[in-house]
Amino acid sequence: MKNTLRAPLVFFLAAFLLAACAAPSQKRGGQNFSAAKGESPVVSAPETPEEKLPDPPSQDPSSKNAPADKTVRVLLAEKAKTAEIKHSGRVYVYTPDLSKKYKVSAPGTLAVKALGNGKIQLGTLQAAQPIILEPAKDTLLTWNKNVYSGKIFIIPAGNAFHLVEHAPLETYLYGVLPYEMSYTWPLEALKAQAVAARTYTLKSLENVKNKNFDLYSDVRSQMYKGGGKQFDSVRKAVDETRGQVLTHEGKLFYTYYHANCGGGTDDVRSWNPGAASIKPLSGASCKYDAHSKSHSWQMNVSHAKVLAYAKTVGLAGTLKSIKIARKTDTGRATNLTIRTSKGSKTVACGKFRLATGIRSCKINKVSVRKNDVHFEGKGYGHGVGMCQDGANGMAKGGKDYRKILKNYYPGAKIAEIK
């Protein structure tokens, strides 16, 4: 730890010493930057015009770029107290108002900690406003073993801080694909995934609710572990579909996808009753996912797990039975009735699935046994939109990504964002 801390400490000490030398002011690109006299091997104010000067992130970055190069803001960590961010090369460190602005040239590790009262510390720099780490071209940032090439914003939040990456859309997709689908799968399946993930992302950007970020880096949005790691197949899939999205009646829609549909997908309302039913999300047949072990499954869930969920819907007592109350034509349960010694409740199967960990709501059999609850079913996930195992099966069978998308999002068009 000590060694990794030394570099930033030296750098900041040097920065403050240099700043204390009453440096003359230089105008660059409409901004005033204080330029240090002399050059330190560790830190200096950006000098050369060809070096990209960091933008002050005062305006929403997602609104100022062309859609194909849109910046997405991804929440990497929420309410962290400490973080160590490695940089493989030069990195710029600055605050949004540019009152603090440094360059660290040598690779190293930057340690961040929350000081409380809305303050954060990085090296010797303390701030009550965000600190931005902008990697130079070819520099990668590593946090929590994930590799990022976008800017990382460290945003004070009470007695903690958030880490938010601002990454170009296509770079973001490099970091989504390998965690939503195996990078070893055929290129055409990966391309279908790239178009679906790109569409899902841009649709999500229409409904941003959080001030500091657009997307989570987990299943609440899409899995994302940084766009800095190189997977040739993933790069090819993203690059060869650059800017391509799915539309219905000229508009983006939520291109849901899931691991395995168990032989057929369902209407979006089977899983989300409040969603608008549109043709591309109305269900499709799938003859291509039987090779996967997710196609048919059996599993046992403890009484405790079911009862813990029952408690959240106001049902106490000991478990007596679970019955399918309603299901779709394809056999996916939309509602289950849980009966205990104290009464019964009919609940949405989707919520029950997430709470208990059953693989899908395509349940063929459920029986409450003495020590557990036994389920038998088909598929993995919510069963709406693209079936990933099916996409894999179609690609292996020689179908291209357009055919795959056409099968799982019937009636949708592939459009190019400009």
Binders of Zn ion in range 385-404 (CB under 5 A): 387, 390
The answer to whether the CB of 152 falls within 8 A of the CB of 136 is: no
Q: How far apart are CA 79 and CA 110, in angstroms?
A: 18
Q: Which is nearer to Zn ion, 227 or 350 (CB)?
A: 350
Kind of pairing between the strands at 251-252 and 91-94: unpaired
Instruction: Provide, rounded to whole angstroms, the least separation between the CB of residue 93 and Zn ion.
Output: 48
Q: Which is nearer to Zn ion, 291 or 351 (CB)?
A: 291
Instruction: Provide, rounded to whole angstroms, the least separation between the CB of residue 289 and Zn ion.
Output: 3
Stretch of 4-12, 70-78, 97-105, 278-286 contacting Zn ion, by CB under 5 A: 278-286
Q: Which is nearer to Zn ion, 43 or 286 (CB)?
A: 286
Dihedral (Cα; 73, 78, 82, 88), 10-degree rounding = -30
How many C-beta atoms surround the C-beta of residue 1 within 10 A?
8
Q: Which is nearer to Zn ion, 261 or 315 (CB)?
A: 261
Stretch of 72-80, 95-103, 314-322, 380-388 contacting Zn ion, by CB under 5 A: 380-388
Nearest to 385 by CA among 259, 299, 215, 248: 259
Instruction: Provide, rounded to whole angstroms, the least separation between the CB of residue 378 and Zn ion.
Output: 9
Total residues in contact with Zn ion, by rule CB under 5 A: 5
**Residues 230-269: x where in contact with Zn ion by CB under 5 A, - otherwise, as a string:** -------------------------------x--------
User: Among positive and negative, which fits the CA dihedral 184, 189, 191, 192?
Assistant: negative
Amino acid at position 346, single letter:
T
Q: How far apart are CA 250 and CA 247, in angstroms?
A: 5
Q: Which is nearer to Zn ion, 173 or 387 (CB)?
A: 387
Q: Which is nearer to Zn ion, 200 or 257 (CB)?
A: 257
Q: Does 53 bind Zn ion (CB under 5 A)?
A: no
Instruction: Provide, rounded to whole angstroms, the least separation between the CB of residue 248 and Zn ion.
Output: 21
Stretch of 65-73, 327-335, 361-369, 383-391 contacting Zn ion, by CB under 5 A: 383-391
Residue selected from 80, 127, 238, 286 as contacting Zn ion according to rule CB under 5 A: 286
Instruction: Provide, rounded to whole angstroms, the least separation between the CB of residue 407 and Zn ion.
Output: 10
Q: Which is nearer to Zn ion, 240 or 400 (CB)?
A: 400
Q: How far apart are CA 12 and CA 6, in angstroms?
A: 10
Tokens standing for residue 396: 């292996």
Q: Which is nearer to Zn ion, 54 or 393 (CB)?
A: 393
Stretch of 88-96, 152-160, 314-322, 382-390 contacting Zn ion, by CB under 5 A: 382-390
Instruction: Provide, rounded to whole angstroms, the least separation between the CB of residue 389 and Zn ion.
Output: 6
Q: How far apart are CA 406 and CA 415, in angstroms?
A: 13
Residue selected from 289, 324, 330, 409 as contacting Zn ion according to rule CB under 5 A: 289
Instruction: Provide, rounded to whole angstroms, the least separation between the CB of residue 257 and Zn ion.
Output: 11
Nearest to 134 by CA among 59, 54, 191: 54
State how far Cα 69 lies from the chain centre: 17
Give the phi and the psi of residue 340 in degrees, each rounded to 5. -125, 180
Q: Which is nearer to Zn ion, 196 or 261 (CB)?
A: 261
Stretch of 248-256, 283-291, 348-356, 358-366 contacting Zn ion, by CB under 5 A: 283-291
Residues in the chain: 418
Q: How far apart are CA 415 and CA 242, in angstroms?
A: 11
Stretch of 18-26, 87-95, 350-358, 379-387 contacting Zn ion, by CB under 5 A: 379-387
What ranges make up the beta strands (E) of 196-303? 215-216, 244-248, 251-252, 257-258, 296-302
Kind of pairing between the strands at 119-122 and 125-127: antiparallel
User: Among positive and negative, which fits the CA dihedral 147, 151, 153, 154?
Assistant: positive
Find all residues with CB under 8 Å of 329, minimum gap 6, and list them. none
Instruction: Provide, rounded to whole angstroms, the least separation between the CB of residue 266 and Zn ion.
Output: 11
Q: Which is nearer to Zn ion, 226 or 390 (CB)?
A: 390
Chain contacts with Zn ion (rule: CB under 5 A): 261, 286, 289, 387, 390
